[in-house]
């Protein structure tokens, strides 16, 4: 296709800006309740070169959640259409619902020089890791991939945070706790692990990792 027929968005998929840093795809996973949302919100407020990757999901919106902001909420039929078209960089079924990340959205943001924050579960992170060697060497996803596992200081503290958040029923909390034990077994597959004990310390460490990893080697 001739370049003049590409829309602005399509061009951004192929054209990379020239930056003096590496735009990172920051994959953050954690058992539910470990404090990932708290850390991500702080990171986004603190650093305007980081954007949040809005995932697609078939789960229903919770509380104040907005379509296109927290998630792209969609039907199972729509989600399966994207799977068929191979549009997802990764997708998974978590707690009975589909969740997925569109590859085009990520590439577009990285090519525009943004760090992209991806809040996904351990299955999703594993899928991206497996795909990396299959991507072109200059694919911004391959060049900027960084993964971090956020762990709670203990399972007791995790339960107490889930109870304190007061968002889930006892049954859901028990399910999240059972999943947490499995998820923790994957922590060492991640390049970095952060224990979210003191929030300020965890946040500082997260910032330091991002700063270090985005530096271009001379």
Residues lying near ligand ADP in the complex (CB under 6 A) are found at: 30, 32-38, 161, 164-165, 196, 199
Among ligand 5GP, ligand ADP, none, partner that 108 touches (CB below 5 to 8 angstroms by kind): none
In which residue are the tokens 């996973």 written? 29
| Minimum CB–partner distance for residue 131 and ligand 5GP (Å) | 13
Q: Which is nearer to ligand 5GP, 6 or 187 (CB)?
A: 187
Among ligand ADP, ligand 5GP, none, partner that 100 touches (CB below 5 to 8 angstroms by kind): ligand 5GP
Among ligand 5GP, ligand ADP, none, partner that 173 touches (CB below 5 to 8 angstroms by kind): none
Rounded to whole angstroms, the Cα distance separating 183 from 177 reads 10
Structure tokens at 83: 């799977």
| Minimum CB–partner distance for residue 112 and ligand ADP (Å) | 26
Structure tokens at 101: 């990340």
| Minimum CB–partner distance for residue 182 and ligand ADP (Å) | 15
33 binds ligand 5GP, rule: CB under 6 A? no
In which residue are the tokens 């990171």 written? 43
119 binds ligand 5GP, rule: CB under 6 A? yes
Contact at 8 Å (CB) between 33 and 167?
Answer: no
Separation in Å, CA 115 to CA 98, 145, 157, 214: 25, 10, 31, 9
54 binds ligand 5GP, rule: CB under 6 A? no
104 binds ligand 5GP, rule: CB under 6 A? no
In which residue are the tokens 């994959």 written? 27
| Minimum CB–partner distance for residue 5 and ligand 5GP (Å) | 31
Q: Is 179 helix (H, G, I), strand (E, B) or coil?
A: helix
DSSP tag of 61: P
Residues numbered 73-92 forming contacts with ligand 5GP, rule: CB under 6 A = 90, 92
100 binds ligand 5GP, rule: CB under 6 A? yes
Rounded to whole angstroms, the Cα distance separating 131 from 118 reads 16
101 binds ligand 5GP, rule: CB under 6 A? yes
Give buried/exposed letters for 23-60 (b at 16+ CB in 10 A, else e). bbbbbbbbbbbbbbebbbebbeeeeeebbbbbbbbbee
Q: Binding residues for ligand 5GP, per CB under 6 A?
A: 32, 55, 59, 90, 92, 94-95, 99-101, 119-121, 123-124
């Amino acid at each position: 296709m001739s370049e003049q027929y590409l829309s602005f968005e399509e061009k951004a998929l192929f054209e990379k800006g020239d930056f003096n840093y590496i735009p990172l795809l920051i994959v953050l996973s954690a058992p539910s309740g470990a404090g990932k949302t708290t850390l991500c919100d702080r990171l986004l407020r603190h650093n305007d070169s980081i954007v949040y990757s809005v995932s697609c999901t078939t789960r229903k919106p919770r509380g104040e959640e907005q379509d296109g902001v927290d998630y792209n909420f969609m039907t199972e039929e729509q989600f399966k259409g994207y799977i068929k078209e191979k549009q997802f960089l990764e997708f998974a079924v978590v707690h009975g619902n589909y969740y997925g990340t569109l590859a085009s959205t990520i590439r577009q943001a990285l090519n525009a020089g943004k760090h992209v924050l991806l809040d996904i579960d351990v299955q999703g992170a594993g899928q991206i890791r497996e795909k990396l060697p299959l991507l072109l060497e200059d694919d911004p996803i391959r060049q900027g991939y960084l993964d971090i596992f956020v762990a709670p200081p203990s399972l007791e503290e995790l339960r107490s945070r889930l109870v304190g958040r007061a968002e889930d029923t006892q049954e859901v909390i028990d399910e999240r706790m059972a999943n947490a034990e499995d998820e923790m077994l994957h922590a060492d597959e991640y390049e970095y692990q952060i224990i979210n004990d003191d929030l300020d310390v965890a946040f500082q460490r997260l910032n330091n990792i991002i700063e270090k990893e985005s530096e271009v080697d001379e």
